[in-house]
Amino acid sequence: MNASFLLKLIEGGENLKVEFKQRFTDYEKMAKEMIAFANSRGGYIIIGIDDNGSVYGVRSEKEEAELLKLTAETYCEPPLNYKLHFIELFDKELVVCEIPQSDHKPHRIQDYLNEINLNTAQVFVRVNDKSVPASKEMIKILQARSSEAPLKHYEVGKNEKIVFEILREKEFITVKELSGIANISYRRASRTLIKMVRAEILNIHTRDNGEDYYTSAV
């Protein structure tokens, strides 16, 4: 990374792959941002930049590097891969934390549990310019994508046909809608939609408020 590339990132503002931080303030807050990028498509956290793109710089590159290292290795589970870039811009020193999309999703805030607990795990994903909590459905899908191949020879049943009928009338469906229309439990509706995502029949999307919805992938 060079100053020219960094300047383009800053000019583009905060988005799906870019987050600005004026300074490091809190381990868990930074872990949230790092986890969201790792669980999504990767991205850059630029430290020394205000939310409006103003360049402030950092007091100590070494201090920022040590804080980020501790965050990635201690406050994220599993620990995150990352790369640091130290770049001078407008006579200010900036630190860029580059986080690749992970092959070991889902990452969560460290909770010292041997296995992920869907009810308590703090898992985040990136949506537009925000890092938002992942739903239980999203967590299950991230788990499946990291450990299993897509479902093959998937049998379409009654509930799946209802999903197709709904999507012929509108652009998306939610778990709650399927549960009500198909007259099945929320859990069964959730399981149906998760399997359809794994079978690559549906795509899952998350809104800024953390709510999920599903669209056709075919």
Query: Are residue 107 and residue 17 in the same domain, yes or no?
Result: yes
Q: What is the model's pLDDT at position 152?
A: 66
* Whether 18 contacts 46, CB under 8 Å: yes
**Alpha helical stretches, state H, 58-209:** 61-70, 136-147, 158-169, 175-182, 186-198
Range of 205's domain?
A: 142-216
Query: Are 79 and 183 in a shared domain?
Result: no
Label the pairing between strands 212-216 and 83-89.
Answer: unpaired
Q: Which of 195, 191, 194, 187 is nearest to 151 (CA)?
A: 195
Residues 201 and 149 grouped into a single domain? yes
Q: Supply 193's token pair.
A: 């939609």
CA dihedral (44, 50, 55, 60) positive or negative: negative
CB within 8 Å of 84: residues ≥ 6 apart: 65, 68, 95, 96, 97, 98
12-64 confidence digits (pLDDT tens): 999 999 999 999 989 999 999 999 999 999 999 999 999 888 999 999 999 99
- Are 34 and 124 in contact by the 8 Å Cβ rule? The answer is no
Q: Are 81 and 107 a contacting pair, CB within 8 Å?
A: no
Q: Which two tokens stand for residue 208?
A: 């800024």
Residues 42 and 72 in one domain: yes
- Among 20, 12, 81, 16, smallest CA distance to 47 is for 20
Whole-number Å distance between alpha carbons of 128 and 16: 4
Count of domains in the chain? 2
In this prediction, the residues of the chain whose per-residue pLDDT falls under 70 are 148-152
Residues 10 and 77 in one domain: yes
pTM of the model: 0.87
Residues 20, 66, single domain; the answer is yes
Pairing relation of β-strands 92-99 and 43-47?
antiparallel
Q: Can you give the CATH number for the domain in which 27 is found?
A: 3.30.950.30
Predicted confidence at residue 170, as pLDDT, reads 93
Query: pLDDT tens-digit profile of 164-175?
Result: 999 999 999 999
Question: Which three-class secondary structure state does DSSP give residue 127?
Answer: strand
